[in-house]
Structures are given as C-alpha cells and as structure tokens.
Chains A and B, each alone.
Chain A
Amino acid sequence: MTEHALASLSAELDDVSLARSRDLRRQRITTVIRYTVLTLVGLIMIYPLVWLIGASFKTNSEIFANPGFWPQNPTIDGYIKGWKTSTPYSFGTFFLNTLWIVLPKMIGTAISCTAVAYGFARFEFPFKKLLFATLIATLLLPNVVTRIPQYLLFRDLGWLDTFLPLWVPSALAGDAFFVFMLVQFLRAIPRDMEEAARVDGANTWQVLVFIIIPLLMPALISVCLFQFMWTMNDFLGPLIYISSVEKFPVSLALKLSIDTTEAFEWNRVLAMSVLALTPALAVFFLAQKYFIDGISAGGIKG
C-alpha cells in the first residue's frame, strides 16, 4: 500500500518537473521571439540613420550605385569639402551661428519662464485666471497663423536679418508650453519650504532663487533641453528672419548646399547632416537622466 503510494508520488513529482521544464522551455522560446521581433523593428527604425552615417563616407557616385550602408571605398572627402562649403564661410561659422542663436534663447527661456511660472503658481493677482487661460490658449494657436503679423512687427522694429526675432519672444516667456510645464511642476511642490524661507527672512526673489529654482532644477533642465533641440532643429524661424549667409545657422546652411551652386553633392550634404545631428544627440545622452526626471517627476518626497 505504502509502496504504491510512494510510487505514485514519485510519478507525480516526475510529472511536475516535466511540466516545469516544459514551461521553462516555452518561456525561453517566447523570449527569443520577442527579442528577435524587437531587434528587427529597432533596426528598421534606425536604418535610415545608419545609412546616413554610412553614406556620408561614400563617394557621390556610390551613394546611388550602392544601396547598402557600408561604403566600398570609404572616404572623408564629403566631410572635408562639405565643411568648406561653396560660400566664403566654413561650416564652423554656421555652427557658431547656431550656438549664438541657441544659447541666449535657452537662457532667456529658462529665466523668463521660471519667473512667469512662479507668478502664476504662487501669487494671487487680478485677472490671473483669465491671463493663464490666455496663455494656455496660445498653445493651441497654430504657429503659421502668427508668422505674418510677427514678421511685420519685427520688420517695423528693424530687426530683420538679426537674431533678435529669434531671441526676444523666448526671453519674454513666449513659449507657453514651457511656462505651462513649469507651473504644473511648481504646483506639485509643497509651499511649506517657501513659507519656512519667508519666516527665515527671505524676500520673494530670495525665495525664488534659493528655494524654488533648486527644487525646479529637473524641470528646468528639461526645458533647456527641449529648447536646445527645438532651436537646433528650427528651420522656418531662421529661414524667415535671417537673410545674409554669414548669419545662417546649420539648419539653413544644409539647405544652402543643396539648391544653389553645388549641383547636388549628396555626400557633402549627408556628411554635414551627420555633424548637425551630433550636438543634439550628445547633449541628450549627457543629460538623459535629468531629462527623464524632469518629465516624470510629479513632486518632491516629503
């Protein structure tokens, strides 16, 4: 009787271990499938970029002859000639121009949006709700609609072909999205710290500088990164307001080498495109941690 029971028990145990190893195998197979599919899709998504980098090392004739991404006769000719451009200026000038547009704009945005968001999030003043609603409403306004009035305004101010039309709106908290983002972030920060600072003797600006801004830092880094990338990639703004080649940023300079004198030297265009990508990518990867913190953090642990 007991032997029978033991035998059946060991048979059951065998069944269990068999079932478990079957489960394990199935799990492993689904994992392999899942990762294969993900890898494939990932490769498809990134292929244009890989091709771009590969093609920038090809000769101009090979770009259309060889559809693969690996250059047969790798050359940095595209980079050298692309850098020199057909204009009197090298790409270095255009990079500096971009930087000269981006940095003041970024700093202006950070300062102005923080001040405005602080006002909306922490103070009571007449017509606050109406003003905030107006600010949010401008978010929904298509950019194109304001282009012409803006252009006329800046023309009358005599700001055409300067960087001012690109800087000034941002330095006056013209980017409603950033203000909105900071207001939301500020609302999640408890007021106690600010009240403690006021009891400690800080005035409104000292509270902003010593308490709010450090607490806002993750959100501010996100704002700066967004502004950096969007301004780097902005094509329309410089196209409308900048007319002399010496002030062109990279985004305009890339187009410059396509349409005029150079008869479609594609490898140069591609090489410069690769270079144009690098600053944004580098900054993003360097600041990735803060960037994600800034977007996801709802508040501060108490």
Chain B
Amino acid sequence: MARLQLKNLEKDYGSFRAVHGINLDVEDGEFMVLVGPSGCAKSTTLRMIAGLEQVTGGEIRIGGQLVNDRSPGDRGISMVFQNYALYPHMKVKKNLSFSMRLKRRPTTEIDAETDKVADTLEIGALLERLPKQLSGGQAQRVAVGRALIKKPQVFLFDEPLSNLDAKLRVDMRTEIKRLHQRLKTTIVYVTHDQIEAMTLASKIAVLKDGVLQQFGSPAEIYNNPANMFVADFMGSPAMNLLACTLEKDAAGLSVSLARPHGDPIRLPVAKGREQLEAHAGRQIVFGIRPEALTDPDGADRNAKAVAEGECLIEVVEPAGSDTFAVTKLGGKEVVARLRADAHIQAGQTARLAFNLDKAVFFDPKTQLRIA
C-alpha cells in the first residue's frame, strides 16, 4: 500500500504531446479512476505509471520513491489488462504463480500463496485449466488473481470490464469494489464508462485530450463540475446545458429560457451565487441535471430554491425505475427525470419543477464554471 503521486507528467510521441503535465496525488488506499473519452490518454497515463511507456517529463512517485526509471517489475505495481493477457501456454496455476516463480520462491510458499489467492477469488476449481478453457468472467478473475499474488503497493486496472457482457460487468464491478474494501490497496483504474467511475471511485480524475480536467471525489465531480466538459461527460443522461442571458432586475438575478409555446420561463438564481453578479447581462450557460428537473411532487423537499413552469413534453421514455421526459427549452432538448409512475404523455404540457440549488453556471467562452 502506498501513495501515488504524479507531478507534471508529460508524454510526447514525436512532435505530438499526448499528456500535458498531469498532477495527481492519490492517497494510500484510495480507489482512483481515470476516466475520459477514447483518445484522452488515460491508458497512456496508466501505462506510464506501470512503466510500460517512457515518461517524457515529470515525476512518478510510488510510496514517495521516484520510479521513473525503474522497470515495471520493480515498481511495486501489478496490472490487470483489458484483454486479461493471460499466458496462453500456462495453466491457471502457473499463470498465477509466474511472478513468484521468476523470483525463485520456495515451492511450498508458491503453492500456499496460489491457493490463498484462488480461494479469495473462488477460482480453485480452475487451477488446472488453460486460459482458452476459461469463460470471460473466469479469465478476468484469473487476471485479477495474478495481480493479487504480487501483493503490490498499487493496483493498475486498464479497462478490465470492457470485454464482459453487461450483466457480468456489473457483478465484477461489485466484486472489484469488495476486493478493494477488503485489501485497502491503492488502485488506479482506467475506464471510459462514467458509471463505472462513479460507482467504484473514491477519487475521479477526468481527462480530455491529455489534459486533466478535474480531480475530486465522485460527488464533487458530479455536483460541482469544473467545466462544461466534465458536466457533460459525467452522468447519464448528461447534464442539460442551455445557453441563455443572465438578467438582473429588482428581484435579483435570473435566467430566461424560451419555450416553443408561450412566454419564456424565468428562473431566479438561488441565493449565495454572488460570483454571478459580474456576468449580469452577458451570455452564460445554465446547467441542470435531469434529476434536478422533476415533476413537482417528486421535487427535493429540502431544496430551498424551486421554480416551476409548464413545459411541452415531446418524448416520454419510461426506464423502469424512472421516467425520462424530453422537452425543449432555450432551443435545445432538455431531459427531465420523473418518478416512474408520473402521469405524463408526449404532446401534452406538464408542470416541471426546477431545483435551482443544484443549477450550475458556466462561461461559454472559457467553458469554465462560474458558480
């Protein structure tokens, strides 16, 4: 177990800069998820931590030790690969014990450790099989076991669930989380799936084009996105981002959103958003998550600033646990999250409640959050 620090980490491929000075500090025992769309250099960053890619600039420290020039085997890390990368010519048992056999540990110790790991992951029955005789989920467990047996300071996971089917993915997700709760080892986990990131992480780092966008707890990332990219990327369905003008009158600050029918909806800005004063009269981007836009009965009772308005419902999408309703505001489609039993039909107008405590505001030029 150890703390992992990245300082100004950079990676160039020829003249192309893939990673732009990333700074991360992962505390001992934290589960850090690197998330971002494909091509955001999250895997490159992970591979640099693993030692499989040369570092162009900056520092990687594991447990305080600078490891930039150490070989992957000497960094105190172990890694689970996307396609498991099991050694196809070795039985599961040999796959698990490969690292120990390289270190020439005594056979009794190897056997004991292998059995222990096999018990932990419930793969005892598979020890004599070859990787090609395993199912996807079993191969995944063996890959985790191979990482586990090294007792690393930091675990690295490179999109480990992306090759599994939907149900198995959810099961394995829970299992990885349980494993982390028990072992309390520092984990760095790469995924492009923001739900995986939200459910697993104790800290999330959102990357885009090799630039760190935000680093924080899942709640911080979700509720207080640093910029429009993070707001849009995290959460499903995505946050509604609507361009509008910030108005100021005697009643205070407000934004108006045009409706296809009737007057624009006027939404007062909740108290405590003084930073917005400087932007009065300017174009801003108003962001509200689908769950902050509900039917009036379903609105958060603790919310202090709730505004209601009639909206024309264009599409209704029942999802079982919730019902999503699509309406149009400010010329853009807006998704509202209603209770599953909400009586609502496409083509009708319905009263929706805006929880303005949860609203966020961005500067359209810099894309950064204002309030």
In this complex, which of A190, A196, A202, A215 has the most chain B Cβ atoms within 10 angstroms of its Cβ? A196
B243-291: which have CB < 8 Å to A?
Answer: none
**A214 proximal to B (CB < 8 A):** yes
Instruction: Given A192-B83, A206-B102, A301-B132, decide whether A200 and B150 contact each other with a Cβ distance below 8 A.
Output: yes
Q: Which of B51, B73, B81, B88 contacts A202 (CB 8 A)?
A: B73
Instruction: Given A200-B98, A201-B73, A206-B102, decide whether A192 and B81 contact each other with a Cβ distance below 8 A.
Output: yes
A199 to B71, CA, bound (A): 8
Q: Which of B51, B73, B81, B88 contacts A300 (CB 8 A)?
A: B88
**A197 proximal to B (CB < 8 A):** yes
Chain A 62-82 near chain B by CB (<8 Å), digits 1 or 0: 000000000000000000000
> Which A residues lie within 8 Å of B87 (CB)?
193, 196-197, 210-211, 214
Number of chain B residues close to chain A: CB under 8 A: 25
The answer on a CB contact under 8 Å between B71 and A198 is yes
Chain A 281-302 near chain B by CB (<8 Å), digits 1 or 0: 0000000000000000000111
Closest chain B residue to A301 by CB distance? B132
B128-172: which have CB < 8 Å to A?
Answer: 132, 146, 150
The answer on a CB contact under 8 Å between A201 and B85 is no
Closest chain A residue to B90 by CB distance? A214
The answer on a CB contact under 8 Å between B83 and A190 is yes
A215 to B131, CA, bound (A): 13
**A203 proximal to B (CB < 8 A):** yes
**A23 proximal to B (CB < 8 A):** no
> Which A residues lie within 8 Å of B73 (CB)?
198-203
A196 to B79, CA, bound (A): 7
**B78 proximal to A (CB < 8 A):** yes
Closest chain A residue to B147 by CB distance? A199
The answer on a CB contact under 8 Å between A199 and B89 is no
> Which B residues lie within 8 Å of A217 (CB)?
89
A34-75: which have CB < 8 Å to B?
Answer: none
The answer on a CB contact under 8 Å between B85 and A192 is yes
In this complex, which of A198, A206, A214, A300 has the most chain B Cβ atoms within 10 angstroms of its Cβ? A198
The answer on a CB contact under 8 Å between A201 and B74 is yes
> Which B residues lie within 8 Å of A196 (CB)?
79, 81, 85-87, 146
B28-80: which have CB < 8 Å to A?
Answer: 50-52, 71-74, 77-79
Q: How far is the CB of A125 from chain B (nearest CB, A)?
A: 14
